[in-house]
Amino acid sequence: MTIKQDFLERATHLYLGLLMVALLIVSRLVYVQFFQTYKDKTDGKALHWIERLEGVKIRRDTLRAMRGNIYAVDNSLMATSIPKYEVGLDPTIADSAYFEQKVDSLGRLLSQVFEDHTAGEYADMARDAREHGRQFLPLYARRVNYDERQYMRRWPFFRRSAKVLPKGGVFRAHYERYNPFGQMARRTLGSLDQKTDKGERGLEASFQKSLAGKNTVGLIEVLSNGVKKPVDSGSDMRPEPGMDLYTTIDVNFQDMAESSLRQYMEKFQADNGTVIVMEVQTGEIRAIANLTRKTQPDGSGRYAEELNYALASAAAPGSTFKLASMMALLEEKAVWPGKVVHVGGPRMRYRNMIIEDTKRNGHGTITAQQVFEKSSNIGVHLLMKDYFYPRQDLYCQYLRRFHLTERTGIQMLGEAKPVVRNPDAKEWSKTSITYMSYGYEMQLTPLQMLTFYNAVANDGRWVRPMIVKQIRLAGEVVETFEPYVAPEPIASKATIRIAKKMLEGVVEHGTARSIYSDHYRIAGKTGTAQKVIDGKHREGSYYSSFIGYFPANKPKYTILAAIDNPRFNSNDSLYGGKVAAPVFRAVADRIHAYDIRMHPALRQGKKQDAPLPKAGYAEDLHLISQELGLGKEPSVEGWVRTTADGHWQTLPTRAGKVPDVRGLPLRDALPLLENRGLRVAVQGASRGRVSAQSLEPGTNLKGNRGVVLTME
* pLDDT, tens digit (0-9, with 9 covering 90-100), for 575-602: 667 899 999 999 999 999 888 888 776 5
In the prediction, which pLDDT does 233 show?
A: 47
Q: Which amino acid is at 281?
A: Q
pLDDT tens-digit map of 413-424: 999 999 999 998
Supply φ then ψ for residue 590, to 5 degrees: -70, -35
In the prediction, which pLDDT does 45 show?
A: 56
Report all structural domains of the chain as residue ranges with CATH numbers, in order of start: 3-55 (no CATH), 60-183+215-241 (3.90.1310), 256-596 (3.40.710.10), 615-711 (3.30.10.20)
Sort 534 into a burial class: Cβ within 10 Å, 0-12 / 13-18 / 19+.
exposed
| Cβ-count burial 628-663 (b if 16+ within 10 Å, e if not) | ebbbeebeeeebbbbeeeeebeebebeeebbbbbbb
In the prediction, which pLDDT does 395 show?
A: 96
In the prediction, which pLDDT does 225 show?
A: 46
Q: Specify the higher pLDDT residue, 65 or 633.
A: 65
Q: Is 105 helix (H, G, I), strand (E, B) or coil?
A: helix
Whether the predicted pLDDT of 613 surpasses 80: no
Whether the predicted pLDDT of 111 surpasses 70: yes
Q: Which amino acid is at 520?
A: Y
Q: What is the mean pLDDT of residues 334-352?
A: 93
| Measured CA distances, 264 to 109, 188, 268, 272, 307 (Å) | 49, 21, 6, 11, 18
CA-based nearest residue to 241, from 80, 96, 110, 469 = 80
Query: Could you give the CA distance from residue 254 to residue 185 in angstroms, rounded to a whole number?
Result: 7
Sort 468 into a burial class: Cβ within 10 Å, 0-12 / 13-18 / 19+.
buried
Q: What is the mean pLDDT of residues 330-359?
A: 93
pLDDT tens-digit map of 516-533: 999 999 999 999 988 766
Other Cβ atoms closer than 10 A to 236: 7
Whether the predicted pLDDT of 300 surpasses 90: no
Tell me the Ramachandran region of residue 540: left when phi exceeds 0, alpha when psi lies from -120 to 50, beta otherwise: left
Is the separation of the CB atoms in 653 and 638 below 8 Å? yes
Is the separation of the CB atoms in 673 and 625 below 8 Å? no
Whether the predicted pLDDT of 656 surpasses 90: no
Is the separation of the CB atoms in 468 and 245 below 8 Å? yes
Whether the predicted pLDDT of 625 surpasses 60: yes
In the prediction, which pLDDT does 70 show?
A: 95
What is the β-pairing status of strands 77-89 and 70-71? antiparallel
Q: What is the mean pLDDT of residues 279-283?
A: 97
DSSP 8-state code for residue 696: P
In the prediction, which pLDDT does 42 show?
A: 43
| Measured CA distances, 665 to 625, 651, 659, 661 (Å) | 17, 14, 14, 8
pLDDT tens-digit map of 156-206: 888 866 455 567 787 877 788 889 888 889 899 998 887 788 888 999 999
Query: Could you give the CA distance from residue 153 to residue 341 in angstroms, rounded to a whole number?
Result: 82
- Indicate the pTM of the whole model: 0.75
Query: Could you give the CA distance from residue 212 to residue 471 in angstroms, rounded to a whole number?
Result: 13
- 443-447, 488-492, 538-542, 557-561: which range is least confident on average? 538-542
Give the highest mean pLDDT range of 139-143, 212-216, 276-280, 618-622.
Answer: 276-280
In the prediction, which pLDDT does 638 show?
A: 67
For 510-562, what is the HEC assignment? CCCHHHCCCCCCCEEEEEEEEEEECCEEEEEEEEEEEEEEECCCCCCEEEEEE
Whether the predicted pLDDT of 398 surpasses 70: yes
Q: Is 328 helix (H, G, I), strand (E, B) or coil?
A: helix
In the prediction, which pLDDT does 482 show?
A: 95
In the prediction, which pLDDT does 477 show?
A: 94
In the prediction, which pLDDT does 88 show?
A: 83
Other Cβ atoms closer than 10 A to 298: 5
Across the chain, mean pLDDT equals: 83
| Cβ-count burial 42-71 (b if 16+ within 10 Å, e if not) | beeeeeeeeeeeeeeeeeeeeeebebbbbb
pLDDT tens-digit map of 129-169: 888 877 778 887 778 888 888 888 888 888 866 455 567 78
Q: What is the mean pLDDT of residues 270-296?
A: 93
DSSP string, 461-494: --B--B-EEEEEETTEEEEEPPPPB-SS-SS-HH
Q: How confident is the model at residue 11 (pLDDT cuts 50, 70, 90)?
A: confident
- State percent of the chain over pLDDT 70: 80
Q: Is 711 helix (H, G, I), strand (E, B) or coil?
A: strand
Query: Could you give the CA distance from residue 153 to residue 162 in angstroms, rounded to a whole number?
Result: 14
- Sign of the alpha-carbon dihedral angle for 656, 658, 660, 664: positive
